[in-house]
């Protein structure tokens, strides 16, 4: 049974297609949007259209930006000899929020996943290798600790090591506030391997 008019149902359906939005959240968002002044709704929709039309990949690192080259790649203050390889632009933002990393990035826009039919040619590996022809001292691999992330990290490492460029992997392990008894063996092993001197 359809509880709402056609327009409300369509709006709920479209909002429900967004990642992380379930049926109840879609309904709540739909009612919120419908109750906004029309000027606010028009501004909101125009912002979405403008972003979709103008956002593209940085020609250097392949993060999302509205310029040809993103602000990080364009900055003379960044260490361009250190490249951190991440899976997505969201991962780049997570590292930037720490305020500690001063190098540049390379966004793969995916990981190797044979189960999903994603191979090395489907992510930005070729572009990374081209960047390594310049002056690069270190590549930090910061893919997730998932099976696909680990496989991608190993693949990248095997590609880069023959060039003589230093290849490192981010440490992973026990989260702050985590109880050891609830943490899986792989995470505990990585935490042990990544231990540091106190």
Q: Burial letters for 160-193: b for 16+ Cβ neighbours within 10 Å, e otherwise?
A: beeeeeebebbebbeeeeeeeeeeeeebeebbee
**How far is Cα of residue 94 from the mean position of the Cα atoms in its chain?**
8
Contacts with 95 (C-beta within 8 Å, 6 or more apart), sequence order? 84, 86, 101, 105, 142
Contacts with 55 (C-beta within 8 Å, 6 or more apart), sequence order? 64, 65, 66
Specify whether the CB–CB gap between 175 and 191 falls below 8 A. no
Q: Where are the alpha helices (DSSP H) in 17-69?
A: 23-35, 38-54
**Residue ranges covered by each domain of the chain:** 78-172+185-193
| Class of 78-172+185-193 in CATH | alpha beta
Question: How crowded is residue 89: how many other Cβ atoms within 10 Å of its Cβ?
Answer: 20
pTM as predicted: 0.82
**pLDDT tens, residue order, the chain (198 aa):** 467 788 999 999 999 999 999 999 999 999 999 999 999 999 999 999 999 999 999 999 999 999 999 999 999 999 999 999 999 999 999 999 988 899 999 999 999 998 999 999 999 999 999 999 989 999 999 998 888 988 999 999 999 999 999 999 888 776 767 666 667 777 777 777 776 655
Q: Which two tokens stand for residue 160?
A: 């880069």
């Amino acid at each position: 049974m359809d509880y709402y008019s056609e327009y409300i149902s369509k709006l709920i359906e479209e909002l429900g297609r967004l990642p992380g939005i379930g049926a109840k959240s879609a309904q709540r968002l739909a009612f919120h949007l419908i109750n906004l002044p029309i000027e606010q709704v028009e501004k909101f929709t125009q912002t979405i259209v403008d972003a979709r039309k103008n956002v593209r990949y940085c020609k250097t690192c392949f993060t999302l930006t509205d310029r040809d080259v993103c602000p990080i790649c364009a900055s003379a203050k960044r260490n361009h000899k250190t490249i951190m390889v991440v899976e997505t632009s969201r991962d780049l933002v997570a590292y930037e929020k720490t305020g500690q990393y001063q190098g540049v990035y390379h966004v793969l826009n995916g990981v190797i996943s044979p189960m999903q039919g994603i191979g090395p040619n489907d992510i930005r590996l070729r572009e990374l290798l081209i960047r390594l022809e310049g002056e690069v001292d270190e590549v930090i691999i910061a893919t997730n600790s998932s099976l696909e992330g680990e496989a991608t990290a190993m693949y990248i490492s095997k590609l880069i090591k023959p060039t003589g460029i230093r290849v490192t992997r981010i440490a992973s392990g026990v989260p702050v506030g985590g109880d050891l008894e609830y943490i899986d063996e792989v995470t505990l092993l990585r935490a042990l391997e990544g231990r540091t001197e106190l």
